[in-house]
Amino acid sequence: SEDNAFDHRSSRPGLMHGCGHDGHTAILLGVARYLAKTRNFDGTAVLIFQPAEEGLGGARAMIEDGLFEIFPCNEIYALHNWPALPAGKVGINPGPMMAASDRFEIVIEGRGGHGAHPYLTIDPIVAAGQIITATQSIVARNVNPLDSAVVSICSVQAGNPGAMSVIPREARLVGTVRTFRRTVQEMIENRLRELSSSIAAAFGATATLTYERIYPATINTPREANFVADVASAILGKENVIRDLTPSMGAEDFSLMLQGRPGAYFRLGQGGAESGCILHSSSYDFNDSVIPIGAGILAAIVERSMPVVD
């Protein structure tokens, strides 16, 4: 539920998406209006209004629906607002921008019973607790410190709060894995499976891992990333363009488009993080003042990549 008080806050409790995709849409509409009016480019510009970036894989659906067959593209570019950067600044790098996003679920099966007689049960909660602790060793003891990875268990479900004396039959853990390298991704999946099954077996229980690869890592191609940085520098001044922005462990399904075409994803500074206006927070608000900046950079990318030759 949105905590803001301004007039354009969400009018429906429990339905607020604080990430700025409305602002992104406004930016691309601005690009469309400008390019249609000026026509100062020689070629075809495809403006992609991609839905369902947050978890539902809109990019994958568009690609499977023939996006690049219907609208052939030689290069592809995208932006996302970034509260951690001040308005008027842009951040990019010529490699990884965001991590791969995976979902895992571990179901521990034991034998339920009375809480007063635990010796007659196989307690899945005890096994789950040991698995939770052990998973924190995966990154610390298996991932090269020069690589980056995250393993987070974000949901623990077992038993019923209204049944204080019932040891449940099942416990369920749900979490996310974030990586940049495929080899690290595969190693973490294997370690999760090995640790959970062996720890559960030590308690007489069983554990089943379901591992889903949601989005791959968002990795810019160097030529296109440097091109974006050059374009942004010409518009904003080189002092306002960060060419080696630290990658984020968040994820982005534009990564799927980058697997099919060379291109680059950059961050448009909008400020606000210092006051708590961060992505996905209940107080987030898109900074409308950066709309012309984002639109200007995207339009310039089109014009400079397909210049009109007299």
pLDDT of residue 98: 92
Alpha-carbon distance 185 to 190, whole Å? 9
For 182-201, what is each residue's pLDDT tens digit? 999 999 999 999 999 999 99
Residue-level pLDDT at 54: 72
Closest CA to 229 of 241, 244, 246, 247: 241
CA 263, CA 141: separation in Å to the nearest integer? 35
Position 250 scores a pLDDT of 87
**Number of other residues whose CB lies within 10 A of the CB of residue 146:** 5
Give yes or no for residue 53 having a pLDDT over 80. Answer: no
* pLDDT at 218 > cutoff 90: yes
* Residue of higher predicted confidence among 12 and 230: 230
Taking residues 267-294, what's their average pLDDT?
86
CA–CA separation, 134 vs 66, rounded Å? 43
pLDDT of residue 38: 95
Q: Assign domain 100-214 one CATH number from 3.30.70.360, 3.40.50.10860, 1.25.40.390, 3.40.50.150.
A: 3.30.70.360
> Does 57 have pLDDT greater than 90?
no
Give the tens place of pLDDT for each residue, 148-160. 899 999 999 999 9
Helix axes 182-202, 124-142, angle to 10 degrees: 150
pLDDT at residue 275, rounded to an integer: 75
pLDDT at 187: 96
What pLDDT, on the 0 to 100 scale, is given for residue 2? 79
Average pLDDT over residues 44-63: 87
Distance CA(101)–CA(256), nearest Å, equals: 12
Taking domain 21-97+217-305, whether its CATH number is 3.10.129.10 is answered by no
For residues 91 and 245, the answer to whether their CB atoms sit within 8 Å is: yes
In the prediction, which pLDDT does 111 show?
A: 96
Domain range summary for the chain, segments of one domain joined by +:
21-97+217-305, 100-214
Mean pLDDT of the chain: 92
Whole-Å CA distances, 243 to 81, 226, 230, 298: 16, 8, 9, 17
Contact 145, 208 (CB under 8 A): no
**In angstroms, what CA-CA distances link 38 with 26, 235, 254?**
18, 18, 28
Per-residue confidence (pLDDT) for residue 279, from 0 to 100? 80
pLDDT band at 142 (very low <50, low <70, confident <90, very high): very high
CA 105 – CA 131 distance, rounded (Å):
12
The pLDDT assigned to 5 comes to 83
pLDDT greater than 90 at residue 11 = no
Residue 285 has pLDDT above 90, yes or no: no
**What's residue 7's pLDDT?**
85
- Where are any strands of DSSP class E within 216-260? 218-219, 241-242
Q: Do 100-214 and 21-97+217-305 have the same topology in CATH? A: no
Predicted pLDDT of residue 251? 87
Decide if pLDDT at 273 tops 80: no
* 24-35 pLDDT per residue, tens: 999 999 999 999
The C-alpha atoms of residue 87 and residue 122 are separated, in whole angstroms, by: 56
Cα separation, 90 vs 269, whole angstroms: 6
Q: Which of 81-95, 176-190, 276-290 shows the lowest mean pLDDT across its residues?
A: 276-290
| pLDDT over threshold 90, residue 126 | yes
Task: Supply the pTM of this predicted model.
Answer: 0.83
Return d(Cα 83, Cα 194) in angstroms, integer. Answer: 39
Confidence of residue 304 (pLDDT cuts 50, 70, 90): very high
- Please determine, for residue 18, whether its predicted confidence score (pLDDT) is greater than 90: no
